[in-house]
Amino acid sequence: MSMFTRKMRMLTAVVMESDRDSVVKALLEKGVMEFVHIGSLPDEKMSKLSSHSSSVPKAALTDMRVRVETLLKEGGIQLPELDSSIIDSLPALDMDSYKRTLDKLSLSLQSVRDKQREINQDSNALSEIIRYNAEKKDEYLDLRVGENTHGSAEDLLNRLEQIGGIFIFSSRPYISLTLRRDSQRVTEVMDKFSWTESTDSEAQKTAMGIAIKAAQERTESYRTDLEKLSVDVKERIRNVSPELLTIWKTVRLHELCEHVESFFSYTRNTTLFSGWVPSEFSDDITSLIGKVTSGRCIIEWTEADEVPRDEVPVEMSSPRILRPFERMVNNYSTPEYGSINPTPFTAVAYLCMFALMFADLGQGVILLLVGLAGSWMYKKHPEKKDGIISRYLCSLLIFLGPASMVGGLLFGSCFGFELIPPLWFPYDAVVEGEPVQGLIQDIYDILGITIKFGIVIIYAGLILNWINLTRKRRYFELIFDKNGLVGGVMYALGIWFAWGFVASGYKTFPSAPFFAPVLIVCLALIVIKGPLGAVINARNGHRESIGRVIIDTVMDFLVEVLEIFSGLLSNTLSFMRVAGLGIAHASLMSAFYQMADMPGNGIAKIAIMILGNVLVIVLEGLSAGIQSLRLNYYEFFTKYFTGHGVAFEPVGLRSRTRAD
Amino acid sequence: MSRVSDYAFVNAKLRARIGIMHDSTLFDEMIKAPSLTEAVAKLEGSHHANLLEVYRNTGDLQQLELQMLDDEISLYREIEGYLPSLPSSFISVLLEKIEVDNVKNVIRLWYSDVVRQHIISYRSAYLYKKQIVHEIDYDKAVNAVSFPEFVHAFKGTPYEAVLDAFSMERLASEGLFPLEIALDHLWFSHLEKGIEKLGGIDRKIASQIYNTDVDLKNILMLTRYSYSYHLAYEELERVMIPMGYIYKEAEKTGALKSDDPMSVLSAIVRHHYPQISEEIQRIRRTADDLTTVEENNREIVLIEAYLGERRKHEYKKILVGDPFSIGVVLAYFFLCLQEDSTIRAILSGKYYGRSEMKIREGLGL
Residues of B in contact with A60 (CB under 8 A): none
Q: How far is B265 from chain A (nearest CA, A)?
A: 46
pLDDT at A657: 45
| Chain A residues close to B41, C-beta within 8 Å | 70-71, 73-74
Which 263-302 residues of chain B touch chain A by CB within 8 A?
none
* B80, A143 Cβ separation under 8 angstroms: no
ipTM above 0.90, yes or no: no
- Tell me: the pLDDT tens digits for A418-455? 888 999 999 888 888 888 787 788 888 999 999 999 99
Is B321 part of the contact surface with chain A (CB cutoff 8 Å)?
no
- List beta partners, residue A298: A14
- Kindly determine whether residue A179 and residue B122, on different chains, have CB atoms separated by under 8 Å: no
How many Å apart are CA A189 and CA B232, to the nearest integer? 48
DSSP 8-state secondary structure symbol assigned to residue A280: G
Residues 6+ apart with CB under 8 A from A408: A359, A360, A361, A362, A363, A364, A414, A420
pLDDT tens-digit profile of B89-113?
999 999 999 999 999 999 999 999 9
Q: In a mutagenesis test of the B interface, which of A100, A117, A189 is the best target, namely the one with the most B β-carbons within 10 Å? A: A117
How would you label A128-164 residue by residue, b for 16+ Cβ within 10 Å and e otherwise?
Answer: bbbebbeeeeeebbbbbbbbbeeeeeeebbebbeebb
Angle, CA of A649, A652 and A658, to the nearest 5°? 65
CATH of the domain at B354: 1.10.132
B27, B36, B42, B60: which to substitute to probe chain A, counting the most A Cβ within 10 Å?
B60
B120 shares a domain with B71:
no
Of B164, B198, B232, the position where a domain reaches its end is: B198
Q: How far apart are CA A385 and CA A493, in angstroms?
A: 53
| CA distance, residue A121 to nearest chain B CA (Å) | 6
Among B residues 102-141, those touching chain A with beta carbons less than 8 Å apart: 113-114, 119-122, 124-126, 139
Please enumerate residues of A whose Cβ is less than 8 A from a Cβ of B: 63, 66-67, 70-71, 73-74, 102-103, 106-107, 109-110, 112-117, 120-122, 124-125, 127-128, 132, 137, 140, 162-164, 179-185, 226-227, 229-230, 233
Nearest chain B residue (CA) to A103:
B34
Whether residue A659 lies inside any domain: the answer is no
CB atoms within 10 A of CB B364: 14
Residues A222, A353 within the same domain: no
Say whether B145 and A180 touch across the interface (CB within 8 A): yes
Contact list, B55 vs chain A (CB under 8 Å): 113
- For residue A79, what pLDDT is reported? 86
Task: Decide if B244 is inside a domain.
Answer: yes
Q: Report the greatest alpha carbon distance in chain B.
A: 60
In which domain, by residue range, is A597 found?
343-640
Q: Which residues of A fall within a CB distance of 8 Å from B56? A: 230, 233
* Residue A497, pLDDT above cutoff 70: yes
Query: Do B114 and B79 share a structural domain?
Result: no
Contacts of A601 (CB under 8 A, 6+ apart): none
Pairing label, strands A34-36, A195-197:
unpaired
Per residue in A273-285, pLDDT (tens digit) is 999 999 999 999 9
* B65 inside 8 A of chain A by CB: no
Q: What's the confidence (pLDDT) of residue B1?
A: 59
Judgement on whether residues B244 and B312 belong to the same structural domain of the protein: yes
Same domain, B317 and B365: no
Distance CA B120, CA B138 (A): 14
Do residue B234 and residue B308 come from a single domain? yes
CB contact under 8 A, A179 and B143: yes
Residue A339 has pLDDT above 50, yes or no: yes
Choosing from B198, B218, B250, the residue where a domain stops is B198
B305 and B244 in a single domain? The answer is yes
Below-50 pLDDT ranges, chain B? none
Q: Given CB atoms, is B2 within the 8 Å cutoff of chain A? A: no
| Nearest Cα residue to A122 out of A265, A253, A226, A25 | A226
pLDDT surpasses 50 at A659: no
CA distances, A105 to each of A100, A117, B352 (Å): 9, 18, 19
Higher pLDDT, B229 or A480: A480
Residue A51, pLDDT score: 63
Residue A368 lies in a domain: yes
Phi/psi zone of residue A436: left (φ > 0), alpha (ψ -120 to 50 degrees), beta?
Answer: beta
Query: CA-to-CA distance for A641 and A464, rounded, in angstroms?
Result: 9
Domain count of the fold of chain B:
3
Q: Give how many domains chain A has, as a whole number.
A: 2
- pLDDT mean over A567-587: 92
- Model confidence at A318, pLDDT cuts 50, 70, 90, reads confident
Query: Mutating which of A70, A79, A139 best tests the B interface, going by the most B Cβ atoms within 10 A?
Result: A70
**A602, pLDDT greater than 50:** yes
A407 and A544 part of one domain:
yes
Report if residue A8 sits inside a domain.
no
Could you tell me which of A235, A311, A315 has the C-alpha nearest to residue A279? A315
DSSP A134-172: HTT-GGGEEEEEEEESSS-HHHHHHHHHHH-SEEE-SSS
Question: CA A316 to CA A343: how far, in whole Å?
Answer: 8
Provide the phi-psi class of A266: left if phi over 0, else alpha when psi is between -120 and 50, else beta. beta
**What angle do helix axes A241-261 and A201-239 make, rounded to 10 degrees?**
50
| Helix or strand (DSSP H, E) at A9 | strand A8-16
Q: What is the mean pLDDT of the segment spanning A574-582?
A: 93
Query: Which of B78-88 are b and which e, b meaning 16 or more Cβ less than 10 Å from the residue's Cβ?
Result: ebbebbeeebe
Question: For residue A180, which phi and psi values (nearest 5 degrees)?
Answer: -65, -30
Buried b (16+ CB within 10 A) or exposed e, A409-424: bbbbbbbbebeeebee
For residue A12, give the H/E element and its range: strand A8-16
Verify that A228 and A358 share a domain, yes or no: no
pLDDT at A524 exceeding the cut of 90: yes
Residue B92 within any structural domain of the chain: no
In a domain, residue B207? The reply is: yes
Based on the domain organization, do A217 and A353 belong to the same domain?
no
Whether residue A50 is predicted with pLDDT greater than 80 in this model: the reply is: no
Distance from CA of B355 to the nearest CA of A (A): 15
Verify that B192 and B204 share a domain, yes or no. Answer: no
Q: Which among A67, A132, A183 has CB closest to B38?
A: A67
Q: What is the pLDDT of residue B45?
A: 85
**B304 and B214 housed in the same domain:** yes
Which tens digit of pLDDT belongs to each residue from A277-310? 999 999 999 999 999 999 999 999 999 988 888 8
Mean per-residue pLDDT, A117-139: 94
pLDDT score at A439: 79
Q: Roughly what angle, to the nearest 10 degrees, separates helices B200-228 and B293-319?
A: 170
Cβ contacts below 8 Å, chain A against chain B, sum to 95
Contact status, residue A112 vs residue A232, Cβ threshold 8 Å: yes
| pLDDT given for residue B98 in this prediction | 96
Q: According to the 3-state scheme, what is the secondary structure of chain B?
A: CCHHHHHHHHHHHHHHHHHCCCCHHHHHHHHHCCCHHHHHHCCCCCCCHHHHHHHHHHCCHHHHHHHHHHHHHHHHHHHHHHCCHHHHHHHHHHHHHHHHHHHHHHHHHHHHHHHCCCCCHHHHHHCCCCCCCCCCCHHHHHHCCCHHHHHHCCCCCCHHHHHHCCCHHHHHHHCCHHHHHHHHHHHHHHHHHHHHHCCHHHHHHHHHHHHHHHHHHHHHHHHHHHHHCCCCHHHHHHHCCCCHHHHHHHHHHCHHHCCCHHHHHHHHHHHHCHHHHHHHHHHHHHCCCCCCHHHHHHHHHHHHHHHHHHHHHHHHHHHCCCCCCCHHHHHHHHHHHHHHHHHHHHHHHHHCCCCHHHHHHHHCC
Instruction: Determine, yes or no, domain membership for B88.
Output: no
Look at B41 and A74 and tell me if their CB atoms are within 8 Å. Answer: yes
Confidence of residue A660 (pLDDT cuts 50, 70, 90): very low
Residue A565 has pLDDT above 90, yes or no: no
B215 and B285 in a single domain? The answer is yes
Bridge partner residues of B52 (DSSP): none
Q: Give me the domain span that covers residue B21.
A: 1-83+329-365
Pair B3, B77 in one domain: yes
Phi, psi angle pair for A310, to nearest 5°: -75, -5
Same domain, A229 and A357: no
The rounded mean pLDDT for chain A is 90
Whether residues B38 and A63 touch (CB distance < 8 A) is answered with: no
Region A322-336 average pLDDT: 92
Provide the CB-side half-sphere exposure for B260 (13 A, CA): 5
Phi/psi of residue A301, nearest 5 degrees: -110, 135
Interface test with chain A among B114, B116, B122, B145, by most A beta carbons within 10 Å: B122
Residue A114 pLDDT greater than 90, yes or no: yes
Probe site for chain A from B111, B121, B140, B147 (most A CB atoms < 10 A): B121
Residue B2 within any structural domain of the chain: yes
B282 and B338 in a single domain? The answer is no
* CB-based contact B143 A181, cutoff 8 Å: yes
